[in-house]
Amino acid sequence: MADLLDLSAAAAARAIDSGEVSATELFDAYASRTREDRLNCFTWVADNPPSAVSGAPLSGVPLAVKDLFCTANVPSQSGSRILEGYLPPYTATVVERLEVAGASLLAKTNQDEFAMGSSNENSAYGPVLNPWDHTRVPGGSSGGSAAAVAAGLAPWALGTDTGGSIRQPAALCGIVGLKPTYGAVSRYGMIAFASSLDQAGPLTRDVTDGALMLRHMMGRDECDATSLQFPEEIALPSAERLDGVRLGVPEELTGEGVEAGVLQAFEAALAQAEALGATIERVHLPHAPHALSAYYVIAPAECSSNLARFDGVRYGLRAENESDLLGMYTSTRHDGFGPEVKRRIMLGTYALSSGYYDAYYARAQRVRTKIVEDFRAVFEKVDFVVTPTSPTVAFELGAKTGDPLSMYLNDFCTVPMSLAGIPAISIPCGLAGAGEGLGVNGAGLPVGLQLAGPAFSENRLLDVSYALEQALAFDPTPARV
Amino acid sequence: MTTYEPVIGLEIHIQLATRTKMFCGCELSFGEPPNTRTCPVCLGLPGALPVANAQAIHFGLLIGLAVGSQLAPRSIFHRKNYFYPDLPKGYQISQFDEPLCLGGQLAEVRIHRVHLEEDAAKLVHMGASGRIHASDASIVDFNRGGTPLAEIVTEPDIHTAEQAGEWLRLLRTTMRQLGVSDVNMEEGSLRCDANISIRPAGTTELGTKTELKNMNSFRFIERGIRAEIARQEAILDGGGRVTQETLHYDPDSGRITSLRSKEEAHDYRYFPEPDLVPIAVDEAMLDAARTAMPELPAARAERFEQEVGLSPEVARRLAFRSELGDYFERALAAEVDPPAPAQTLANWILADLLSRLGEADGTGEDPNRSLVTPSALGALCGLVASKRISVGAARQVLDRLVSDGGDPKAIVEAEGLEALDGGDDLAAVVAAAIAANGDAAEKIRAGNPKAIGPIVGYVMRETKGRADGGEVTRLVNEQLGI
């Protein structure tokens, strides 16, 4: 058979199932591959495969899990110094569900601290490198998960998306990333960034793997009051044509600020969709340009409260040699949090302060409502909204670290869907910058196509993405180790 | 000197007697070893999420119904953010501007709101004093953390310390009737803060208020409020101004000290709790609450008045202390011959029985915990009312019942305490008494009926209290020809 490590997760599960390969063999192959990681994808790697789950649908296929998921007795640090070495006593619901379905924990992946970042440069455990170009970022915050999957260091990985943290790194690394409908997947055991936005989702080599992982992680969880019963089972996608599918291109998210190379690949993908039978329409999301501003009030406000528990009293880092409580709190949080986390705690604390609440938090929530209404109106006319996932291809390490605003603009196209709580997927749709000699051997850098649909439209979204994926025939091999 | 009218509002926290905590599945703790009733949720571990306790919401609705609140069809939880070691998440999940219950009234005091929240953990300060100052270290017991609380806020409708105490007792009885809480101040399941201001009598504008924190017994609440009123009066009389601040009353020294000023007040940065969904109260929840609603003290007093025929004052005294009301109803229902009239029973419970019970005998003035069974008291009252025994004899029987229990009729028989009827036996004793008290007899004849005391006393001694006082007086007058 072809190289074991070239198999998609679904193909690997079938191979184990049919006895062509053993789960242990596959696990060992990946475990030794992870030890050769030069991208800094991992914060922890398993020594031994967990005992095999025979007959389970995922057949023991190894799984990489973003650091911020709690995994019992395995370091879960959310990319932060303040949780260095923290061993949770319990496992997050989605990880547990995937394990019950037969996935085996291979590694924990590097990420921006507390999922705050778009480049993975905010990790206390060092930046992750983009497998397409080691001088560039993999995107963030699920940068370790995206880079590991793109490089073939893991068959697939679990990530989280708050404002684009699955979709944007998937785009920059040339893989598939899906953010489900808010509530479709339990948040229990995910170390929270912004509770009303956080969702777990798959980062995979192809759309089929994305569907397969989603099928085994979603569903109502009694431990998460905001989780919902998904109305149907997730099917593996099979569409070949897009006849009758109406795609809407929002003008507000496809104009100024999007790189020429990205636009080019995007337009080519749209032409491909038309060739498959889809119709393309211009649509409007009039409030989408305000989404980023609203997001950077709501998410920091929630994080300022969510991160209050890291106070040195019960777990994680505690500053020693402080004589009083305030001193202990201040030093612990001073030493434990990185600059971006501190910036957002400050922003959020300010936005919630007495006298400013209405001007910031309450107003941002009204914008959020407007954005929900915008999408509702658009989905009366079209089935899906399509945009480039990220306005740019992967940028160089350090290029934006001194300018938070330009860093925040990476999320320009992904944040509106997060605020609306609707499902969105990024699939690789081509390469940009080949002419300038960018990427591995000058092959160029990946561009992501984002498709978003109404709440609970995951099955149709996956089907359309699958048909496009087959037609686009993106070549991921330059990134493979 | 100006006279002032105090204006008092109360904030009461009640620990709800649910099976599990407000937002997790841990069972409530009753003195278990520290940190044994905990889980990732109530310890505020990374990634843990709250889920609201349906029983606590049911209890909240019961309280709302009991005080006539508007029950919000939709209410939400907020986060109240501040740092303290007894608050593991760095915020308390509470309710803010959309509480479960709005408005209402209990007796003469209007209710502002009732909302649900979670209790903090318990800090234990190590060292000699047991207080935070000068302690070597503080440790946290999270067993209490996350216990459901209902916070009841009154309007400023209370005007004296005694009224505050009385009303709080009524509230306690109401909560006890509802079965939503143990409402025990000493154990902390009932806690009360008071907002206090004073204004010149006859004026309507409210003065600057202070908040008196965490008084942990009914006695201290009344004392604390009295002390604070006196403090404010002294300030105003001296030409000063009351400053808005949070105060602590020390029951040992009687001193009031400042905890923090208005400027030092926290900015709690309230915002809607994104980890929880709104509480949507549907018909089924309302039905469940209505069905579970027991008779409340005010309605019980009304019934005692209308159906049982008690005087309003006596009816309230029995109904507003549920243990007395319960005891009274049991005694009334007891089948005794001769029957005990309701008013007699009530009087005997409130006067003779209660005065014989207390801390010393371990009953805490709860007749249900005494050796006097309700039917025994009923039987005793039946004997008194039918004049089978005299009041004096009945008191002797009651003494025996309180100390040893037993059956009143058997005691009466064994001790020979039956009343002497108005026949020859008693007439003879009365005649002897008159003969032995010639002076008193003369005074009575001269028109001073109060002089009868020594004669009655003689009769009672001779008859061991078995004679009926009224009958003795009648016989004395008869024999003296009055």
| pLDDT tens for the 481 residues of chain A, in order | 458 999 999 999 999 999 999 999 999 999 999 999 999 999 999 988 877 667 899 999 999 999 999 999 999 999 999 999 999 999 999 999 999 999 999 999 999 999 999 999 999 999 999 999 999 999 999 999 999 999 999 999 999 999 999 999 999 999 999 999 999 999 999 999 999 999 999 999 999 999 999 999 999 999 999 999 999 999 999 999 999 999 999 999 998 889 999 999 999 999 999 999 999 999 999 999 999 999 999 999 999 999 999 999 999 999 998 989 999 999 999 999 999 999 999 999 999 999 999 999 999 999 999 999 999 999 999 999 999 999 999 999 999 999 988 899 999 999 999 999 999 999 999 999 887 888 888 889 999 999 999 999 999 999 999 999 999 999 999 999 7
Q: Measured between CB atoms, does B85 come within 8 Å of chain A?
A: yes
Task: Note the pLDDT of residue B465.
Answer: 80
Q: Measured between CB atoms, does B91 come within 8 Å of chain A?
A: yes
Task: Note the pLDDT of residue B119.
Answer: 97
- Kindly determine whether residue A308 and residue B47, on different chains, have CB atoms separated by under 8 Å: no
Q: Give contacts of B88 with chain A, Cβ < 8 Å.
A: 309, 313-314
- Kindly determine whether residue A89 and residue B90, on different chains, have CB atoms separated by under 8 Å: no
Task: Note the pLDDT of residue A255.
Answer: 84
Q: Which of B45, B84, B262, B279 to mutate to test the interface with A (most CBs of A within 10 A)?
A: B45
**A59, A66, A123, A457: which one is catalytic?**
A66
Report the C-alpha gap between B280 and B271 in whole angstroms: 19
**Annotation marks residue A390 as catalytic:** no
CB contact set of B207 (below 8 Å; sequence gap of 6+): B7, B197, B198, B199, B232, B242
Q: Give contacts of A225 with chain B, Cβ < 8 Å.
A: 49-52, 275-277
3-state secondary structure B190-228: EEEEEEEEEEECCCCCCCCCEEEEEECCHHHHHHHHHHH
Q: What is the mean pLDDT of residues B326-348?
A: 94
Q: Give contacts of B270 with chain A, Cβ < 8 Å.
A: 352, 357
**A141, A142, A145, A227: which one is catalytic?**
A141
SS3 B420: strand
Higher pLDDT, A403 or B18: B18
Q: Chain A neighbours among B 19-58 (CB < 8 Å)?
A: 40, 43-52
CB A306 within 8 A of CB A348: no
Task: Note the pLDDT of residue B82.
Answer: 96
Structure tokens at B216: 């942990």
Confidence check: pLDDT of B131 > 80: no
Which residue shows structure tokens 């939400």?
B76
In whole numbers, what is the pLDDT of chain B averaged over residues?
Answer: 92
Kindly state the helix (H) or strand (E) to which residue A430 belongs, with its residue range: strand A424-432
Q: What DSSP character marks residue B179?
A: T
Q: Give contacts of A224 with chain B, Cβ < 8 Å.
A: 49, 51, 275
Q: Which of B49, B91, B94, B263 to mutate to test the interface with A (most CBs of A within 10 A)?
A: B49
3-state secondary structure A160-206: EECCCCCHHHHHHHCCEEEECCCCCECCCCECCCCCCCCEEEEEECC
**Annotation marks residue A141 as catalytic:** yes
Whole-Å CA distances, A58 to A64, A99, A207, A219: 14, 9, 16, 17
Confidence check: pLDDT of B279 > 90: yes
Beta-ladder partners of A260: none
- Kindly determine whether residue B85 and residue A226, on different chains, have CB atoms separated by under 8 Å: no
Q: Which of A69, A227, A314 to mutate to test the interface with B (most CBs of B within 10 A)?
A: A314
CA atoms within 13 A on the CB side of A313: 27
Q: What is the mean pLDDT of residues B344-369?
A: 88
Task: Note the pLDDT of residue A1.
Answer: 40
* Separation in Å, CA of B96 to nearest CA in chain A: 14
Task: Note the pLDDT of residue A459.
Answer: 98
Task: Note the pLDDT of residue B419.
Answer: 80
Task: Note the pLDDT of residue B19.
Answer: 97
Structure tokens at A193: 């960034």
- Kindly determine whether residue B50 and residue A353, on different chains, have CB atoms separated by under 8 Å: no
Report how many Cβ contacts below 8 Å link chain A to chain B: 103
Q: Give contacts of A83 with chain B, Cβ < 8 Å.
A: 46
Q: Give contacts of A361 with chain B, Cβ < 8 Å.
A: 271
Q: Chain A neighbours among B 233-272 (CB < 8 Å)?
A: 267, 269-271
* Separation in Å, CA of A312 to nearest CA in chain B: 9
Residue A265: how many other CB atoms lie within 10 Å = 25
- What is the distance, to the nearest Å, from the Cα of residue A187 to the centroid of all Cα atoms in its chain? 14
- Kindly determine whether residue B88 and residue A314, on different chains, have CB atoms separated by under 8 Å: yes
Q: Give contacts of A89 with chain B, Cβ < 8 Å.
A: 40, 45
Phi-psi region of B54 (alpha: psi -120 to 50; beta: other; left: phi over 0): alpha
- For chain B, counts of helices (H) and of strands (E): 16, 17
- Kindly determine whether residue A313 and residue B274, on different chains, have CB atoms separated by under 8 Å: no
* Separation in Å, CA of B121 to nearest CA in chain A: 13
Of B430, B455, B432, nearest to B442 by C-alpha is: B455
Q: Which of A304, A309, A366 to mutate to test the interface with B (most CBs of B within 10 A)?
A: A309
Task: Note the pLDDT of residue B343.
Answer: 94
State ipTM: 0.96
Q: What DSSP character marks residue A237?
A: P
**pTM of the complete model:** 0.89
- DSSP string computed for B77-127: -EEEE---TT-TTSEEEE--SS-SEE--EETTEEEEEEEEEE---EEEEES
Report the C-alpha gap between B209 and A136 in whole angstroms: 62
Task: Note the pLDDT of residue A387.
Answer: 98
Strand (E) positions, A184-341? 199-204, 246-250, 279-283
- Kindly determine whether residue A191 and residue B47, on different chains, have CB atoms separated by under 8 Å: yes
Confidence check: pLDDT of B361 > 90: no
- Kindly determine whether residue A309 and residue B89, on different chains, have CB atoms separated by under 8 Å: yes
**H-type helices in B122-275, by residue range?**
161-178, 218-237
Omega of the bond prior to A141 within 30 degrees of 0, cis? Answer: yes
Strand order in the sheet with B91-94: B91-94, B78-81, B271-272
Report the C-alpha gap between A417 and B121 in whole angstroms: 39
CB A114 within 8 A of CB A194: no
Kindly state the helix (H) or strand (E) to which residue B257 belongs, with its residue range: strand B255-261
Find the chain A residues whose C-beta atoms sit closer than 8 A to any C-beta of B: 68-70, 76, 78, 83, 86, 88-90, 92, 187-192, 194-196, 222-226, 301-302, 304-305, 307-311, 313-315, 325, 329, 349, 352-354, 357, 361
Of B49, B88, B140, the CB nearest to A187: B49
* Separation in Å, CA of A10 to nearest CA in chain B: 29
Q: Give contacts of B277 with chain A, Cβ < 8 Å.
A: 225-226
Q: Measured between CB atoms, does B276 come within 8 Å of chain A?
A: yes
**Annotation marks residue A165 as catalytic:** yes
- For chain A, counts of helices (H) and of strands (E): 14, 11
Ranking A169-178, B405-414, B437-446 by mean pLDDT, the lowest is B437-446
Q: Give contacts of B50 with chain A, Cβ < 8 Å.
A: 225
- Kindly determine whether residue B40 and residue A76, on different chains, have CB atoms separated by under 8 Å: no
Report the C-alpha gap between B180 and B174 in whole angstroms: 9
**A165, A390, A418, A426: which one is catalytic?**
A165
- Kindly determine whether residue A352 and residue B81, on different chains, have CB atoms separated by under 8 Å: yes
SS3 B68: coil
Of B45, B52, B91, the CB nearest to A305: B91
* Separation in Å, CA of A311 to nearest CA in chain B: 8
Q: Measured between CB atoms, does B145 come within 8 Å of chain A?
A: no
- Kindly determine whether residue A225 and residue B50, on different chains, have CB atoms separated by under 8 Å: yes
Q: Measured between CB atoms, does B201 come within 8 Å of chain A?
A: no
